[in-house]
Amino acid sequence: MKNYINSLREHNLKATPQRLAIVDALYINGHMNTETLYGLMIQKFSSISLATIYKNINIMIEKNFIQEVKLPHAKSVYELTKTSHSHLLCKKCGAIEDVEINLDVMIENISKTNQFQIDKTDFVLSGNCKNCQ
Amino acid sequence: MKNYINSLREHNLKATPQRLAIVDALYINGHMNTETLYGLMIQKFSSISLATIYKNINIMIEKNFIQEVKLPHAKSVYELTKTSHSHLLCKKCGAIEDVEINLDVMIENISKTNQFQIDKTDFVLSGNCKNCQ
DNA sequence: AAGATAAAGAATAACTTTTATCCATTAAGT
DNA sequence: ACTTAATGGATAAAAGTTATTCTTTATCTT
Ligand SMILES: [Mn+2]
Ligand SMILES: [Mn+2]
Ligand SMILES: [Zn+2]
Ligand SMILES: [Zn+2]
């Protein structure tokens, strides 16, 4: 695992044990919602407050350390910020996979056609994963 | 405007005045969140309950009459179900535009590459609209 | 290595958003 | 018209999120 202490500090976030545990959980699990994240954290820190989860999620989003991923018919999940990517969501088992899709050409076209300057995309493709079809 | 009385009935939804007003508002405004929708409805029906808004949104989604559109850093909006399309979201003024993007070839490729059967996409492109750049 | 201090955690209340309940009303089929 | 299941209104309850207060601590500065 990466050195998240410095990584947090570079984002002006104090490297507290709680915060490191959250980051670690996201690193290991990839995408988590507030509920599952709290469920995991309460095991490590028996007295951690749910408010701590929310406060950290919010400030880490603010500092661009993590990202929210909004999913159809499901709670949002959070993940460590990485290079821009899209998501595959299995409607049956709920699995979420990262997928690299090069959208540059498409964005360029849409940008011109619609006179719209695009600088971010949120792309979720839903269906059935390998194991669920 | 279309005949939404029959359209509702075809989806097994009783055509009540409240429901027709909601549909009409969505038809006119395109995309609305619960707050703005309630704000409009309360003008027409001074005693309408916020719960009525929620109940109708939920049942209309269930019957596939409307769709929820989840947006980054903003409340979800709702729209009448139409042919699959993507959305342009202006980060500055909040405007939402429909945009037709043919994703068939891309989906076909991703489907094969990832052994993932895709049957729905949620695609939001954010940036600055024509008036906001 | 202490000391100072701003940031963060825990506990809890408050607020926001959404859903459930109960009863009155009504759309729609007969 | 009559019947009935569905819906609306009022309200309470539940779920989700944020604010507040005080204590603790990570980090910076001696
Ligand atoms: Mn991801
Ligand atoms: Mn749309
Ligand atoms: Zn699956
Ligand atoms: Zn704009």
Q: Does residue A133 sit within a domain?
A: no
Q: What is the pLDDT of residues A43-92, one digit of tens each?
A: 999 999 999 999 999 999 999 999 999 999 999 999 999 999 999 999 99
Predicted confidence at residue B1, as pLDDT, reads 53
Say if residues B51 and B25 touch (Cβ distance below 8 Å): no
Q: Which nucleotide is nearest to A41 (CA to C1')?
A: C9
B16 and B71 in a single domain? The answer is: yes
Q: Distance from residue B99 (CA) to nucleotide D30 (C1'), in Å? A: 61
Q: Is residue B102 part of a domain?
A: yes
* Count of domains observed in chain B: 2
Query: Does position A3 have pLDDT exceeding 90, yes or no?
Result: no
Identify the closest residue of chain B to A113 by CA–CA distance.
B99
Are B116 and A129 within 8 A, CB to CB?
yes
Is the pLDDT at A106 greater than 70, yes or no? yes
Q: Do B103 and B52 belong together in one domain? A: no
A20 and A62 in a common domain: yes
Ligand 2 centre from B4 Cα, in Å? 18
Q: Tell me how far the alpha carbon of residue B31 lies from the centroid of ligand 2, in angstroms.
A: 7
- pLDDT tens-digit profile of B62-78? 999 999 999 999 999 99
- Tens of pLDDT, residue by residue over B10-53, are 999 999 999 999 999 999 999 999 999 999 999 999 999 999 99
pLDDT averaged over every residue in chain A: 97
The CATH number given to whatever domain includes residue A118 is: 3.30.1490.190
On whether residue B40 sits in a domain, the answer given is: yes
Whether this prediction's pTM lies above 0.85 is answered by yes
Answer yes or no: do A18 and A73 share one domain.
yes
Whether residues B49 and B101 share a domain: the answer is no
Could you tell me which residues come within 8 angstroms of residue A2 by beta carbon, excluding any fewer than 6 positions away? A27
Q: Which strand D nucleotides have any atom less than 7 A from protein CB atoms? A: 6-12, 16-20, 25-28
Residues of the domain holding B60: 5-80
Per DSSP, the residues of B54-77 read: HHHHHHHHHTTSEEEE--TTS--E
State, as a whole number of angstroms, the distance between the CA of A13 and the C1' of C1. 25
Judged against a pLDDT cut of 60, whether residue A1 lies above it is answered with no
Percent of chain A exceeding pLDDT 90 equals 98
φ, ψ for residue B95, nearest 5 deg:
-60, 145
Residue B3 pLDDT grade (very low, low, confident, very high; cuts 50, 70, 90): confident
Give the mean pLDDT of B99-119: 98
**Whether A44 and A98 share a structural domain:** no
pLDDT of residue B12: 97
Residues B87-110 have a mean pLDDT of 97
B72 and B23 share one domain:
yes
Q: Are A116 and B127 inside 8 Å of each other by CB?
A: yes
Asked if B72 contacts B89 with a C-beta cutoff of 8 angstroms, the reply is yes
User: How many cross-chain Cβ pairs, A to B, lie less than 8 Å apart?
Assistant: 97
B91 and B34, same structural domain? no
The CATH number given to whatever domain includes residue B66 is 1.10.10.10
**Are B41 and B72 found together in one domain?**
yes
| B58 and B100 fall within a common domain | no
Last residue of a domain, one of A80, A98, A117: A80
Q: Which ligand sits closest to the CA of A80?
A: 1
Same domain, A13 and A76: yes
d(CA A97, CA A68): 15
